[in-house]
Homo-oligomer: A and B are copies of this chain.
Amino acid sequence: MTPVVQEVVLLPNMKNNAAAQETRRKLMDAGGEIFAERGLYAATIKQITDRAGVNVAAINYHFRDKFELYAAVVRYALSMTPTPLSAPAGRSPEERLRDDIAFMIADRYDPSRPAWRSTLLAHEFAQPTAALEAVMEELIRPRANFIEDIVRGILGPGASDDDVVRAALSIGGQCFFYLYHDEIIRRLHPGLIHENNSEELVSHITEFSLAALHAMRKRQKQAPQRR
């Protein structure tokens, strides 16, 4: 699992100065926070530049306009959200599923990464912009493929593509809920999520999903003609 390298898209006649990169980073950090707090449209560039400690015109200079800044912030968030690329040899599908779920949950609450990432993406999911394309291709689809591989490993070759996809979506849906809608969960059950029980959470999702997958597999064997 390696982080995506963030490609810095530079406007014409702009040198890749260290100072300029620092300003860009400050703007993207501040933009991440503000866009997550308020959304693309309710956020104002003044709020962002104030928090970044720079002048409003800096956005025009470094990103052309508010929307380009937003797109850069989304890419920035993606660059800080690693996708699983490989697994140690010898891990069973079951172990890889647990690893992956644990990985996503851990990343979500990783204190070394900005907490605004999931909120920002939640906005993007509710109100897609052009940036959703990048989110799909760099984050969602790799993860979906990864889970589908695991599912296919567990269900075996007898499973139909639709079965694989639906099972993967059932797993992904559970994770998605915790990753992007923990506000709802907190309102429903204030004490459920806290910093010391992510282990139990991961175990629950893993076991819930594995039990379902194993049952699907067993049912296929009993009715192999069904497809």
Contacts and interface: CB of A to CB of B under 8 A. Distances in A.
Does more than half of chain A's interface fall in helix, strand or loop, or is it mixed? helix
A205 B216 CA distance: 11
A71 to B, nearest CB: 16
Contacts of A219: 207
Contacts of A170: 174, 204-205, 208-209
Number of copies of this chain that the complex holds: 4
Contact of A192 (B136, B141, B162, B209): B162
Given A172-B177, A178-B173, A201 B166 contact: yes
A140 B184 contact: yes
Interface stretch (A76-84, A108-116, A118-126): A118-126
B188 A141 contact: yes
A47 B219 CA distance: 53
Nearest to A211: B215
A188 B205 CA distance: 22
Interface string A154-170: 00000000110111011
Given A162-B192, A170-B205, A205-B170, A126 B136 contact: no
Given A174-B174, A189-B165, A192-B162, A125 B39 contact: no
Contact of A169 (B123, B125, B140, B177): B177
B162 A125 contact: no
